[in-house]
Structure 1
Amino acid sequence: MNDPRGAGTAPASMAYAWTVVAILMIAYVFSFIDRQILNLLVGPIRRDLGISDTQMSLLMGFSFAIFYSFLGIPLGRLADSRSRRGLVAAGIVFWSLMTALCGSARSYAQLFLFRIGVGVGEAALSPAAYSMIADYFPPSRRATAISVYSAGIYLGSGIAFLLGGLVIQYVSAQGEVILPLVGSTRPWQVVFYILGIAGLLFSFAFLLVREPPRTHAGATVPFSEVVAYLWRHRRAVLCHNFGFAMIAFCSYGAASWIPSFYIRTFGWAPGRVGIVYGLIVMVFGTAGIVFGGRLTDRWMRQGVGDAALRVGLWACAICVASSVYLLMPRAELAMVAMVPAIFALGMPFGAAPAAIQEIVPPRMRGQASAVYLFIVNLVGLGVGPTAVALVTDYVFHDDMALRWSLLIVGAVACAAAALLLRAGLRPYREALQSLRASRPARATP
């Protein structure tokens, strides 16, 4: 196989390209396990640290998202000019160390600080991954490839709940654990130690990854030029970014509090919730994200230029219709009725970043992806979990009203997403046509 490091070399085989996607997807799985495990540990962490739902939500979202979002832009710039493989590997090592340190936290301030560190490390992953995948795959396959990578969102979330539930069941039965060099350790702290060590070991997998040949050559595009380009197509970019950000708002808000909903409303143990909910998220969330990517690619081949935005619109409609699960009288019925919502919320997460790759020049992909991730994560992850907690704490003043908080926040977010995506259909098509018209004629890969 030819050396893939320099521009202009022969493209890698599809088998190797899919191998890289698989490794990147596993990295994304690890990132989401580390990110989402807190959602299953609300009860014990609140008890041990003496904090409220709102303070807990800041650990779930804001503490992580603020630096994750802001650092994504300079890291996206590095992804356009430096080794993307090295950038991802360094990020994995850093966030895994921070995850392990979360297990050492003895106060709310310490845990908040370490969660910021997890966000800093994870900010290196997706801009570099999107850029690598876009260089490995032709446009007709990009949405599917990015959807497979993005399946790490639901695989990671599901594994976080599933393995977290099993570990909690086992460790809780043992009581406090005495660890070498650490001493007395709570069950929730043991979970963080295990995840941190596992992530550090996985980072060695990037020795198998080679830098793909870039589809552009030359100096890195200044960020001001990227901003100017995005501003020229601002209606398409803003409707796309904020429309999908509101879907993420709904998704992250729900994922953060659904375990607590089953614990508080139906009296399920955290371990049981983790196992059942984790399996549902893994199977149906992953199926939704891959289905959304393949549907986008199919529509694109049929000439539907705004396919990704239409996938988002369908996701909003299905999610609103299936939110009835929050009103079910029994936990088992609620779990079954929740399946369409999880499937639907997964559909846009591969299609949306692929759509950004299609309306920006290749040399801007890393930075444009970072801008997209900045908005999606700041709005979705940074605000979504806290919005649900604020409604619970300050509107209902009742922990047991969580179902109503989830219902209200989800409905408002999906409605806003649908309005934005609908408004962006025509501007997105125009931006796509403009970029295609500016490209020199060449053979289709």
Structure 2
Amino acid sequence: MEKNKNFEQYPSNRRAWYAVVVLTIAYIVSFLDRQLLALVVEDVKADLVLTDTQVSLLLGFAFALFYTTMGIPIGRLADKKSRKTIIGIGITCWCIMTAACGLAKNYTQIFLARVGVGVGEATLSPSALSMISDYFPVEKRGGAMGFFNMGVSVGSGIALIVGGLIVDYVKDSPTLVLPFIGEIFAWQALFLYVGIPGLLVAALMTTVKEPSRKGKMQITSEDGKSTDEISIPQTIKFLWKRNRAYGWLFLSMACSVLIGYAFLSWLPTMYIRTYQISIGTVALWQGVAFLVGGPFGATASGWLGDILFKKWDKTAHLKLFAYSMIVMTLAAALVPLMPSYKLATLMFIPQIIMAAGQTALAPVAIINITPNQIRGQVIAIYFFVISMAGYTLGPTSVALLTDYVFQDESLIRYSISIVALIVGMVGVFAGFKCIPHYRKYIAKVQTGNFTEST
């Protein structure tokens, strides 16, 4: 039999929220580092002589290659070892590799640097979400995870606004010549200016206390011996028995992330090509949209999910996720078709609110049906699925339509709209399909134990 001893003492609110704030800062820095490249697409293309498809691989596949594959073993490590230490090492790695993008001389070098950024950032989400679940009881996790996940939009917004200002500054600055490196392109200075200061966040992680692990599942063998150690085969068995609950949710979120990274990768370029505006204007408008819509969507959805969870329905987080997918799909399909960049940005805000909400709601829903010993691994698998879809298919699907269907880079707006509409409809279907299967398992968890024959 398997039992989950669920009723345990949690840290004080002060300690818990301090940790969440530090983890959120780390998440903001991670998205700031990973999104810089989208600001300088046209410069990178010109200086390194690349196609849209090659750039899309830098934006997506190069980052996702190890971000996803390394996430699963790192997730298992996070289930057993100090999660704050794992995160600190990861921050150091991705900041150094972001700076390395600023030293790349050709396509291969910048590709490998982007791979390194992905390796470092693979440490953060599985470890951080596992820690947050041990800082807060189930009825308070939505608000905490919503706060953490606003790092996605805040990091993206800062990347656009601050990154855009730096781009404007360095393009008019004298050529930068580094010792032993030589002359670097103006856009490369952006990666150096942002990557190196991020190392301060790694130092800040040392002030966070590792929480004790809660909600462990006890496994009793046929001879009556109990253990809380869960092997890889037992983890696979646990997930397989719940494949419809996890699978449909993973698929729906993968669709949301695919649309999100299609936009993060190509929307600045679409604004420039369609509306003939400068990168500074693009960065300001889109950055403000992220900073307005993202924090509101992530935090409001998390707290609303917690309220509805306690007073209405234990599937509340998942239902909010599914309904937000409808609004997000409609808004995303319309954004690129707007006649002006101001109207496009206005339409972009509800898309950001819904998408940010989903980044908070999906992990809460997953963790609430997952025992402590495998939360890092399950979250890592979740990020593997959504990131492989988002980072690889998101940027590249838009680029392939532009390069090979429309064969006109000025028509990129239609590529983005088509991808958003088709993928979004799949996501809506998967989200609602998940609800009845999820309901069965969340009800079991709320009794305070997992009970299954082994």
TM-score (norm 2): 0.92
Match of 2:282 among 273, 276, 288: 273
Distance 1:117 1:72 in 2: 13
Match of 1:305 among 309, 314, 332: 314
The AA in structure 2 aligned to 1:350 is A
Q: 1:93 and 1:311, CA in 2 relative to 1: closer, same or farther beyond 3 A?
A: same
The AA in structure 2 aligned to 1:341 is Q
Q: Count how many residue pairs are aligned between Structure 1 and Structure 2.
A: 435
Cross-structure match for 2:41: 42
Paired residue secondary structure (2:280): helix
Superposed CA deviations along residues 225-256 of structure 1, whole A, max 9, x for unmatched, are 11111110111010011111111111111111
Q: Give the conservation status (yes or no) of the 8 Å contact 1:247–1:316.
A: yes
Runs (4+) of structure 1 exceeding 6 A deviation are none
Cross-structure match for 1:364: 374
1:232-247 aligned within 5 A: 232-247=241-256
Cross-structure match for 1:69: 68
The AA in structure 2 aligned to 1:298 is I
The AA in structure 1 aligned to 2:353 is F
Distance 1:233 1:438 in 2: 18
Distance 1:288 1:110 in 2: 37
Identify the range of structure 1 (19-28 vs 384-393) with the bigger mean alpha-carbon deviation.
Answer: 384-393
The AA in structure 2 aligned to 1:360 is T
Identify the range of structure 1 (271-280 vs 101-110) with the bigger mean alpha-carbon deviation.
Answer: 271-280
Cross-structure match for 2:272: 263
Q: Give the conservation status (yes or no) of the 8 Å contact 1:69–1:123.
A: yes
Q: Tell me the CA shift for residue 219 of structure 1.
A: 5.6
Superposed CA deviations along residues 307-341 of structure 1, whole A, max 9, x for unmatched, are 22222222222123323232222222222222111
Cross-structure match for 2:208: 209
Cross-structure match for 2:220: none
The AA in structure 1 aligned to 2:10 is P
Cross-structure match for 1:186: 185
Q: Give the conservation status (yes or no) of the 8 Å contact 2:330–2:421.
A: no
1:43-442 aligned within 5 A: 43-215=42-214, 220-322=229-331, 323-437=333-447, 439=449
What 5-or-longer segments of structure 2 have no aligned partner? 1-6, 217-226
What 5-or-longer segments of structure 1 have no aligned partner? 1-7
Cross-structure match for 2:4: none
Q: Tell me the CA shift for residue 194 of structure 1.
A: 1.3
Q: Tell me the CA shift for residue 428 of structure 1.
A: 0.5
Identify the range of structure 1 (237-246 vs 277-286) with the bigger mean alpha-carbon deviation.
Answer: 277-286
Distance 1:328 1:127 in 2: 37
Distance 2:267 2:125 in 1: 26
Paired residue secondary structure (2:177): strand
Percent identity, please: 37
Distance 1:377 1:433 in 2: 29
Q: Give the conservation status (yes or no) of the 8 Å contact 1:21–1:145.
A: yes
Distance 1:241 1:84 in 2: 24
TM-score (norm 1): 0.94
Q: Indicate the RMSD between aligned Cα atoms, in angstroms.
A: 1.8
Q: 1:52 and 1:33, CA in 2 relative to 1: closer, same or farther beyond 3 A?
A: same
Identify the range of structure 1 (280-289 vs 325-334) with the bigger mean alpha-carbon deviation.
Answer: 325-334
The AA in structure 2 aligned to 1:50 is V
Q: Give the conservation status (yes or no) of the 8 Å contact 2:10–2:136.
A: no
Paired residue secondary structure (1:184): strand
